[in-house]
Amino acid sequence: MYTMGTLLRHGSAEQKQKYLPAIASGELRLQAFGVTEPTSGTDTGALKTTARLDGDHFIVKGQKIWTSRAEYSDLMLLLARTTPLKEGMKKTDGLSVLLVDMREAIGNGLTIRPIRTMMNHATTEVFFDDLRVPAENLIGEEGKGFRYILSGMNAERILIASECVGDAKWFIEKASNYAKERQVFGRPIGQNQGIQFPIARAYANMRAAELMVREALSLYESGKNPGAEANMAKMLAADASNEAANVCIQTHGGFGFAEEYDVERKFRETRLYQVAPISTNLILSFLSEHVLGLPRSY
C-alpha cells in the first residue's frame, strides 16, 4: 500500500529488511497513516502531536483523526513534532516520521476510537498518551519528516486516482447496461440523447483522467516526485468518478436510490474523494502556486 512508500524511499536498510518482506508476504497486515489532526486540518505544519526523545525511546503525546484502518493495522506511519516551533522556523520543519508497531502500542499508550461515517471506511481517532516508540523507528533524519511524508502522499494520490478511475468505469458500465435494458415510452431510455450524452461525456472525462494517472505513475515509478501530476491525477479522476456517479444515479431514476442496485452505496463512497486524501481546493492552490507561479493564497 501507499503508506510504505515513505519507508521504501527514506527508511534505513535495516528498517526495510525488517518490515518490507513481511509486508510483501502478508505476514504483517495493513498499515495506517497518522497525519491529520482535529485542530490542524490541511495545515499539516500546525500539527500538535509531539515526540520527545527520552534515552532510546520517543515519548509520543497527542491525537490524530481520520486514521483509516488503524484497528486492523500492524504498523502506523506517524508524523509528529520532534523539534518545538521557534520564531523564524518553517512550520513544516521539525516534524519527523516514526514507525509505530500497533501490536505493542495498543493498550500501552495508544487508544483507538472508531468514527462512524456515511460509508464503510473503518476510519478512527487515535490518542497517544505517553506512548513509547523505540528511537530506532525514526525514519530518515529527525526534523525532515514532512518531506518524506509528501513523497508517500504522491503514491497515495496516484493510488486513490486509480481507484476513482475504476469507480468511474463501474458507474459508466452500470449506467450503459441499465440504459439499454430499461424501457420507457416503449423504447430503451438509452435511445434518448438526453440519457446517452451524459454517459458519453463521463466516459471521455474518465479516459482523460486515466491518462493523467498513467503519467503520474510512470514519473513516480522512475523515482521522481511528481507532485503536480499526482495532484492533477487525483483531482481529475475524483471529478470523473463523481460525475459518473451522478450520471449513473440519474440514469437509474428511482432505482438509483434503492440499496439493492448498489449505485447509492458507491455514490456515497466516491463522494469522499472530493475531500480526502486532499481536497480539491488544496490541489488547485498547489497548482496555482507551484506550477503557475501565482502568489500563495494562504
Ligand X SMILES: Cc1cc2nc3c(=O)[nH]c(=O)nc-3n(C[C@H](O)[C@H](O)[C@H](O)COP(=O)(O)OP(=O)(O)OC[C@H]3O[C@@H](n4cnc5c(N)ncnc54)[C@H](O)[C@@H]3O)c2cc1C
Question: Based on CB atoms, which residue is closest to ligand X, 101 or 173?
Answer: 101
Least distance from C-beta 248 to ligand X, angstroms? Answer: 21
Give the integer Cα–Cα distance in Å for 71 and 175: 35
Question: Based on CB atoms, which residue is closest to ligand X, 189 or 278?
Answer: 278
Question: Based on CB atoms, which residue is closest to ligand X, 70 or 138?
Answer: 70
Question: Based on CB atoms, which residue is closest to ligand X, 41 or 253?
Answer: 41
Least distance from C-beta 34 to ligand X, angstroms? Answer: 6
Burial of 37 (0-12, 13-18, 19+ CB in 10 A): buried
List residues near ligand X by CB under 6 A: 33-36, 41-42, 66-68, 117, 121, 123, 272, 275-279, 281-282, 285, 298
Per-residue H/E/C for the chain: CHHHHHHHHHCCHHHHHHHHHHHHHCCCCEEEEECCCCCCCCCHHHCCCEEEEECCEEEEEEEEECCCCHHHEEEEEEEEECCCCCCCCCCCCCEEEEEEEHHHHECCCEEEEEECCCCCCCEEEEEEEEEEEEHHHEECCCCEHHHHHHHHHHHHHHHHHHHHHHHHHHHHHHHHHHHHHCEECCEEHHHCHHHHHHHHHHHHHHHHHHHHHHHHHHHHHCCCCCHHHHHHHHHHHHHHHHHHHHHHHHHCHHHHHCHHHCHHHHHHHHHHHHCCCCCHHHHHHHHHHHHCCCCCCC
Least distance from C-beta 127 to ligand X, angstroms? Answer: 15
Least distance from C-beta 279 to ligand X, angstroms? Answer: 3
Q: How many CB atoms lie within 10 A of CB 21?
A: 11
Least distance from C-beta 276 to ligand X, angstroms? Answer: 4
Question: Based on CB atoms, which residue is closest to ligand X, 163 or 210?
Answer: 163
The residue number with the shortest CB distance to ligand X is: 41
Least distance from C-beta 198 to ligand X, angstroms? Answer: 26
Question: Based on CB atoms, which residue is closest to ligand X, 15 or 124?
Answer: 124
Question: Based on CB atoms, which residue is closest to ligand X, 126 or 249?
Answer: 126
Question: Based on CB atoms, which residue is closest to ligand X, 72 or 197?
Answer: 72
**Cis before 226 (ω within 30):** no
Least distance from C-beta 268 to ligand X, angstroms? Answer: 11
Least distance from C-beta 223 to ligand X, angstroms? Answer: 25
> Who contacts 4 (Cβ-Cβ below 8 Å, separation ≥6)?
19, 20, 23, 31, 77, 152
